[in-house]
Homo-oligomer: A and B are copies of this chain.
């Protein structure tokens, strides 16, 4: 699947931000021309195809495919699309059916399960409307309009320092959102495109009554589990069907996607409409090199350590394997994704293309004295900051409280809340400013289960890694270990701390700085000793990252100044439309076919002797003979997607559903920084597979008829 855990968290935050804003401002239809858009430049494939709905590349489409949709088509498709808190989705019937992925509806599916059963295990298909189950707290957002507000944002930024400018930017964005929310009663969000090259107001209609109509068993939705995750050929029914209700009745959306009779066909033009979360295609070469050589290798090493800890726990405690199954999967998923990101950065051909682009881009800027004055120094400023960051990267990583230990995090929180509380707001560590302090204080009082076996291993592993990455005479090593082994320090801390006890934390929080300073709790003592070193490197890194952020913003503005919307902006978890072809690709010495069929599902089960994670759900064994095994099941296309696109519809030129996006192949993961459709592919459930499964496996003809408009 697409959405890595960390992406999930980031997106959940972004979404929470949107949710917390209220309404004002004049709705402007999406088709309105963008007034500040510079003249068109040539499309560059390495920037991908995540187009915004207010700047569709009609000429490029016409040239490439002999097809360009009209505004009516674009409006219809935009209004047929909806966004879930962390996924994409679409209206697919006249009575408000919404199609998304199984992993996007997972929380609802689990939540509406009866006490004696779990729909994630058993699957669920509502026989009648009355059987459809309300998903607590779930909502979908439908994009009503996009308005360019760049001029208003820019006008408000008058300060001289990055800090002043950032505060002014935040303020004007909040103000614009509030105005819009109040004026329109819509959910409004100012979206920062091209790192600030454009600011756009996105206005959403929110639907709050969402009910579960159908979800298959988790084992068929995520068939092949972690091994098959991010790969193709693939055999997953990664589907949830929801229904939007209004006033207790199914909602009849004026715009919804009709169902294609044929489904995706080899070599046909298809569009993916959804909300890609985050890409790094505007990154400079120096940023990419830092990730490739410093950032990602360290991240991957950390994943490896965590997985080793889970494996160690499972070896000695059989229940641990079950208990940590989701965490293991989450880390393995991230590991596969980050490995893929790095593969892209290690590809010398792709990097050469990127280098050539950067050179040409800098020449364009240099050719215009005004642009050169404004942006000429940005690349070197970023490169210098990256170089400096690289010089103390091990210190930044290990001076502190990382490595997955809950206890270290709690201990650090307690010490820092005490220290920061006594300072004026502006002098605090960034996370402790404003509402931050109280939020962290509140979190510290929550009950958090502590697994001491895990804690011992995690702390020891982190200290061992520090020991091997830092010089022997490093001050942190001296303070943190005091001449003892990592294992001894970890065991000592875990044995002799009460920080795992919420009451103890509560009492320390109440006692304030004095009590924290006087505490003889082994963990608190340890944190107090380590914290000054940690603050020092963090402060130094924050300053450098601020330089990078400010200059990245300039890069985005410069790209927009030089190329306009000929290059799509980086992903922002907002609605995009990506063009592509249904297409096989060279793989494993041969050809990966453009589609799979149900035969392949039964092959994979038989080839692995039906062992986990290739075990078929009972229903799929018992009802096998009902199926036409030649029915297309999954397929691939060259569309440009990333985490957040999960649940996006794949549509044909008639705006009919031909599939449901649920993953990228492993070759496509490296598209994060440099897009290529040579072998990278979007993986989708085929529309014919969905209908066949509904009718033959889930007694879901009611639903299939509705999808097919019968």
Contacts and interface: CB of A to CB of B under 8 A. Distances in A.
Contacts of A594: 607
A154 B596 CA distance: 62
Given A266-B609, A595-B607, A607-B600, A588 B590 contact: no
A224 B590 contact: yes
A602 B629 CA distance: 9
Contact of A231 (B590, B595, B602): B590
Contacts of A230: 589
A78 to B, nearest CB: 33
A597 B588 contact: no
Contact of A603 (B336, B591, B603): B603
A688 B665 CA distance: 33
A630 interface: yes
Contact of A629 (B591, B593, B606, B630): B606
Contacts of A198: none
Contact of A606 (B224, B336, B597): B597
A588 B589 contact: no
A597 B604 CA distance: 9
Dominant SS at the A interface? Answer: mixed
Contact of A589 (B266, B336, B603, B609): B336
A593 B599 CA distance: 16
Interface in A579-613: 587-591, 593-597, 599-600, 602-604, 606-609
A595 B604 CA distance: 10
Nearest to A336: B589
A1 interface: no
A591 B227 contact: yes
B593 A231 contact: no
Interface string A417-449: 000000000000000000000000000000000
A666 interface: yes
For this complex, into which size category does the number of interface residues on chain A fall?
20 to 34
Nearest to A591: B227
Contacts of A589: 230-231, 336, 665-666
A632 B47 CA distance: 45
Given A588-B587, A589-B666, A603 B607 contact: no
Nearest to A587: B588
B587 A607 contact: no
A61 to B, nearest CB: 27
B588 A596 contact: no
A590 B228 contact: yes
B590 A596 contact: no
Contacts of A603: 596-597, 599-600, 602-603
A700 interface: no
A233 interface: yes
Contacts of A609: 266
A255 to B, nearest CB: 33
Interface string A214-234: 000000000010011011010
A599 B665 CA distance: 23
Contact of A666 (B336, B588, B595, B608): B588
Contacts of A593: 604, 607-608
A588 B266 contact: no
Contacts of A591: 227, 608
Nearest to A228: B590
Nearest to A235: B603
B630 A606 contact: yes
Contacts of A602: 599, 603, 629-630
Contact of A599 (B336, B587, B588, B606): B606
A183 B613 CA distance: 63
Nearest to A593: B607
Contacts of A595: 607
12 contacts: A227-B590, A227-B591, A230-B589, A588-B588, A589-B666, A591-B608, A596-B603, A597-B603, A600-B600, A602-B630, A603-B603, A606-B629
Given A336-B589, A593-B607, 6 more contacts: A227-B591, A231-B589, A231-B590, A233-B607, A588-B666, A600-B606
Interface of A: 224, 227-228, 230-231, 233, 266, 336, 587-591, 593-597, 599-600, 602-604, 606-609, 629-630, 665-666
3 nearest CB pairs, A to B? A589-B666, A593-B607, A599-B603
